[in-house]
Amino acid sequence: MPKSFRFLWLLAPLLAGCSYVPALGLRPHKIDIQQGNYVTPDMVAKLQPGMSKSQVRFALGTPLVTDPFHPDRWDYVFVQQKRGRVIQQQRLVVVFQDDRMVRLEGDVVPAKDAAATEKGKAP
């Protein structure tokens, strides 16, 4: 038998032993991830209908998604993950017409509306 075959016979059990690693409660580390634009209710409260695109960009920052097929729509998306699980997700859509803001859609409520909603809740 050639020497290379003997070497493989000796190496095979060692490599097979590497295929089994006991769990021992160990898991891979999953990092915390923040993606997108975090938009606060105070930032949304600064927006007014009729604002230009540059004014909206100044108030909210550059949008995460600008669709070339819908240039009059900006999407601000924010996702936060901890240990591989989504713990916070929000979306805000700013719609323009003739380069002026027309309306907002999404999860983020302006600060003044949020305060009014809190007052209306029963204890």
Task: Look at residue 35 and tell me if it is in a domain.
Answer: yes
Task: Determine, yes or no, domain membership for 21.
Answer: no
Under DSSP, the state recorded for 36 is: E
The answer to whether residue 19 sits within a structural domain is no
Q: Residue 35 contacts by C-beta under 8 Å, 6 or more apart in sequence?
A: 77, 78, 79, 80
Domain span at residue 58 reads 28-116
Considering the domain boundaries, does residue 15 fall inside one?
no
Q: Does residue 90 lie within any of the structural domains? A: yes
Residue recorded with tokens 């989504």: 86
Give Cβ neighbours of residue 57 (< 8 Å, ≥ 6 apart): 63
What pLDDT does 4 receive?
65
In a domain, 12, yes or no: no
Whichever domain contains 92, its CATH number is: 3.30.1450
Instruction: Report CA-CA distances (Å) from 3 to 6, 7, 11, 14, 16.
Output: 5, 6, 12, 18, 20
Output the pLDDT for position 123: 43
> For the segment 49-103, what is each residue's pLDDT rounded down to a tens digit?
999 999 999 999 998 877 889 889 999 988 888 888 888 888 999 999 999 999 9
Number of folded domains that form the chain: 1
pLDDT score at 98: 93
